[in-house]
Every structure is written in C-alpha cells, then in structure tokens.
Amino acid sequence: MSLILEGFMGSGKSAVGKELAKRLGLSFIDTDALIEAKQDCRIADIFEESGEEAFRQMETAVLQGLLLTDDEAVISLGGGTPVRDANQSIIKALGRVIYLWADASTLIRRLESGTEERPMLKGGDLAHRVKKLLGEREKRYMELADIVIDIQDESIEEICCRIMEEV
C-alpha cells in the first residue's frame, strides 16, 4: 500500500516525501513532476497556456495512471489535487493518506519567498489568497486524511519519524 502526502502549497510534501521514501526503501512519485514530464512543460506555463481546468484534468489523468500500477510508493500530490471530486476516490484507492497540516500564518511565512512557480498564488495579496484557498480546502484535506501530522516547527527528519510511527 502506498503512502500519499496531501497538504497545502508550502507544507513540504515533496521534501518530506523524498526523505520518507528513502527511509522506507520505496520509490518517490511527485504528481506535479509527472505532469511536467508528460507535458514537457512547467506547471506555471501549463496554467498560462491552457488554464487551470486543463491542468486539473491532467492531475486526474495522472492519478488514474497511478491506479494501474501495483508498485508501492510514497506519492506527493499537488496542493489542489484533493479538491476535485473525481480525484477523491482515486486517492483513497491509492493508499493511506497523510495530511501535512500547518496553519495559515505558517504557510504564508513559508510561501513568501516563492510564488513565482505557483500560479494559484500569483497576483494580489499572498496572505489573503492563502487564507481563502485554505478555507476552501481544509475540510477536503481532513475528510481524505487517514493521518494528520502537524508539521509546524518540525524538521523533515522529525516529520518522517512521526509518519513512520503512525503507519
């Protein structure tokens, strides 16, 4: 059974996922990276050229593809992947879902340095956008989660240890 990492942008899904996969001897899959490889295009450019809806369809297609493989892996999702209804049952079927939780102010602090590569945060006031999106998404993250890990003030190593204790 795979381990699926969900959480808002800036919660550390990719960094934690890589380290966790290494510790567990599993492969690491980043769904954003899969989309970029398949499209041969950066996510920011996909948003710009084709729009968010096209990107969301690509996310669902990637998840469906993962369902066809039996390999156990640590899978890091994009921050918005759990929101789409069609993705929820697929994510559940893929494995145990771990929500990397942090509050809005922690996420805002972590996101301050890099909104360039994150089209969902472009334009307007960062704090306002994070609070609004998080407000829309948090219930979804919680509903899907088998395990919730508070990542605030924790190092990647500590987060991995906590996850490994829980699973």
Instruction: Point out which residues bind ligand S3P (CB under 6 A).
Output: 9, 13, 32, 43, 78-80, 118-120
Indicate the residue among 129 and 160 with the shorter CB distance to ligand S3P. 129
Q: What is the DSSP string of 60-83?
A: HHHHHHHHT----EEEEPPTTGGG
Indicate the residue among 30 and 160 with the shorter CB distance to ligand S3P. 30
Tell me how far apart the alpha carbons of residues 63 and 96 are, in angstroms, rounded to a whole number.
Answer: 14
Shortest distance (Å) from residue 115 CB to ligand S3P: 10
Tell me how far apart the alpha carbons of residues 107 and 7 are, in angstroms, rounded to a whole number.
Answer: 10
Indicate the residue among 25 and 138 with the shorter CB distance to ligand S3P. 138
Shortest distance (Å) from residue 30 CB to ligand S3P: 8
Shortest distance (Å) from residue 4 CB to ligand S3P: 13
Please name the residues in contact with 143: beta carbons below 8 A apart, sequence gap of 6 or more: 88
